[in-house]
């Protein structure tokens, strides 16, 4: 494998920042102090022509506060990555999600909008043609080590909208890209609150936010029928692209799965029936009527059992 990465030292005045989404650079004094005492753990990344890909805060801390005239950088040969000379799984291993977003953007710029166009004029010989119908961002996402274009878009949303704490947790693996993208849609103060929560509470907060962004059951079904794709609803259930005639069958299947889950839980119970019955009596209240629910469920399961036995007997004959 011919890796397209190398670390060199170049003068700061040869690095071009260009247009960036993140305007708030945070406390660069603290970052500069850390670099001065601990060292530069991961150099900024630039393209062959000196364009900054990622690591702007580190670059500014070294150039403007530490007054370094030259700094170590990782040179990213985008043309070689596009040509397939650097494996996507290597990029995934070597870079954080936010850095891979920057790499994907650089690849998108390199590819341009060459959908279905020839790639033998001024481009790497091994560069694959962007086939008609394949979006540039899909190619860029794959080359930057993302498993899909949608994952790349979520990570990009985090980089562009999330506070530093959320980006850092995503890069460190404490937040999935999907969870970080959900948090990124919140106001900055709320993002910081969620980022500081204990792990279980943070997951619960993300689940709650995720449900707010999802359609109702009826709306999810409508979208599924229109798009032909499975749509997740607020109950975190996938609605399938079914017709009106198919709806009763799908609903029956969902109900059957719920019954099977309940029966599976019953089968795993290691306590004797009389002990469970006693516990239900102790917990029962007039407004809940646990005992009544058990009797109704028992009668329903008995009917199901009769139907199953009847069906089995018919098959035997």
Whether 276 and 290 have beta carbons less than 8 Å apart is answered as no
Residue linked to tokens 């753990």 = 41
How many C-beta atoms lie closer than 10 Å to residue 55's C-beta? 22
Kindly give the confidence (pLDDT) of every residue in the chain, 317 residues in length, as a single tens digit, with 9 standing for 90 and above: 344 567 899 999 999 987 655 555 667 888 899 899 988 888 898 988 888 888 888 999 999 999 999 999 988 888 777 776 666 777 777 788 998 998 888 888 877 744 444 433 333 434 444 444 357 888 888 888 898 888 999 999 999 899 889 998 999 899 999 999 999 988 999 999 999 999 988 988 898 888 777 888 888 888 888 888 888 887 777 888 877 787 788 788 878 888 998 898 888 888 999 999 999 988 888 788 888 999 999 999 999 999 988 866 655 55
Provide the residue ranges of all domains of the chain, joining segments of one domain with +: 5-200, 214-262, 269-317
Rg, C-alpha atoms of the chain: 28
Whether 204 and 222 have beta carbons less than 8 Å apart is answered as no
Q: Residue 51 forms beta bridges with which residues?
A: 16
| pLDDT at site 5 | 63
Taking CA 19 as the corner, what is the angle to CA 18 and CA 25, rounded to the nearest 5 degrees?
Answer: 100
Structure token pair of residue 161? 């909208």
**What's the CA dihedral at 161, 135, 75, 12 to 10 degrees?**
-50
**What's the CA dihedral at 303, 304, 309, 312 to 10 degrees?**
140
Residue linked to tokens 């704490």 = 165
**What's the CA dihedral at 110, 112, 115, 117 to 10 degrees?**
-80
Q: Name the phi and psi angles at 279, rounded to 5.
A: -65, -40
Q: Name the phi and psi angles at 8, rounded to 5.
A: -135, 170
- The pLDDT tens digits of the residues spanning 278-314 come to 999 888 887 888 889 999 999 999 999 999 888 666 5
**pTM of the predicted model as reported, rounded to 2 decimal places:** 0.57
For residue 309, the number of C-alpha atoms closer than 13 Å in the C-beta half-sphere is: 6
Cα(162)–Cα(186) distance, integer angstroms: 8
């Amino acid at each position: 494998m011919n890796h397209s990465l190398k670390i060199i030292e170049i003068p700061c005045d040869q690095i071009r920042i260009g247009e960036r989404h993140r305007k708030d650079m945070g406390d660069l004094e603290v970052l500069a102090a850390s670099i001065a005492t601990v060292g530069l753990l991961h150099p900024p990344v630039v393209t062959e022509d000196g364009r900054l890909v990622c690591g702007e805060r580190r670059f500014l801390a070294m150039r403007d506060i530490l007054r370094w005239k030259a700094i170590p950088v990782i040179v990213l040969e985008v043309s070689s990555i596009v040509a397939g000379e650097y494996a996507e799984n290597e990029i995934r291993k070597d870079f954080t999600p936010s850095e891979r977003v920057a790499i994907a953007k650089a690849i998108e710029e390199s590819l341009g909008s060459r959908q279905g166009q020839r790639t033998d004029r001024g481009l790497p010989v091994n560069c694959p043609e962007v086939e008609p119908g394949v979006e540039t961002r899909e190619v860029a996402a794959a080359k930057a080590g993302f498993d899909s274009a949608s994952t790349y878009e979520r990570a990009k949303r985090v980089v562009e909208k999330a506070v530093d704490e959320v980006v850092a947790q995503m890069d460190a693996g404490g937040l999935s890209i999907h969870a970080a993208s959900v948090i990124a849609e919140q106001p900055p103060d709320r993002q910081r609150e969620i980022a500081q929560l204990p792990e279980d509470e943070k997951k619960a907060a993300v689940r709650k936010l995720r449900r707010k962004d999802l359609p109702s059951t009826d709306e999810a079904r409508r979208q599924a029928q229109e798009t032909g794709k499975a749509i997740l609803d607020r109950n975190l259930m996938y609605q399938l692209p079914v017709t009106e005639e198919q709806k009763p069958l799908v609903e029956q299947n969902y109900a059957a799965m719920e019954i099977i889950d309940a029966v599976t839980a019953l089968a795993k119970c290691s306590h004797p029936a009389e002990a469970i019955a006693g516990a239900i009596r102790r917990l029962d209240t007039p407004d809940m009527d646990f005992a009544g629910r058990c009797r109704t469920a028992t009668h329903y399961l008995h009917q199901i059992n009769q139907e199953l036995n009847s069906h089995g007997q018919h098959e035997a004959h």
